[in-house]
Amino acid sequence: MNVQEVLENYNTYKARISITESEIQELENEIVDIKSANLDGMPKAKGYVESSIEKQVIERQDKISDKRRYIKGLELKIKVVENLVKILKKYNQDVIEMRYYQKMSIEEIAVNKNKTYDAITKAIKNSVAKMQREYNKNKKL
C-alpha cells in the first residue's frame, strides 16, 4: 500500500464508502420490491427450479456482497493510514490532518502554524516517508 496515495485519496475514499452504502441500500430496497411483486400463478415447465424473482434476488445479493467487500477494503486502508498518523509527533499529525483530511493548501498550513512554506513541505514529506517506512516494516512481520 502506498501511504501517500491513500492520504491523497482520503476524502475520496470516504465519499466512495458513503456512495456505495447508499447503493447497497437501493439494492436492498429492490430486493424487498422484488419479493413483494405479485407472482403470476402460472404453472411452470417441468423441471423448473428457479424463478426469475429468485434469480433477481440472488443477483442483487451478490452485488451487495461485492459492494460490502469494496467498502471493507477502503475502510481498512483508511484505518491503517489513520493509525500510522498516530505514530507521528503532534505537530506532524496536525500538519498531515490539515493537508490531507481538511485539504488545506501548504500556504494555509504555513500561516496557521506560523512556519515557512518549505518547513511545512519538509514536515509533510518526512511524515509521509516515516509512515511509509513504518507500514513497510510492519508489513514484513
CB contact at 8 A, 127 and 92 = yes
How many other CB atoms are found less than 10 A from the CB of residue 98? 19
The answer, yes or no, to whether residue 86 has pLDDT greater than 70, is yes
pLDDT of 127 reads 97
Model confidence band, residue 38 (pLDDT cutoffs 50, 70, 90): low
pLDDT of 46 reads 57
What span, in angstroms and rounded, lies between the C-alpha atoms of 126 and 136? 15
CA angle in degrees (0–180, nearest 5) for 84-90-91: 110
What span, in angstroms and rounded, lies between the C-alpha atoms of 133 and 108? 27
Model confidence band, residue 29 (pLDDT cutoffs 50, 70, 90): very high
Helix or strand or coil: residue 5?
helix
Average pLDDT estimate for 43-57: 67
Residue ranges covered by each domain of the chain = 1-41+52-85, 88-141
**pTM across the whole model:** 0.80
Is CATH 2.20.200 correct for 88-141?
no
The answer, yes or no, to whether residue 40 has pLDDT greater than 70, is no
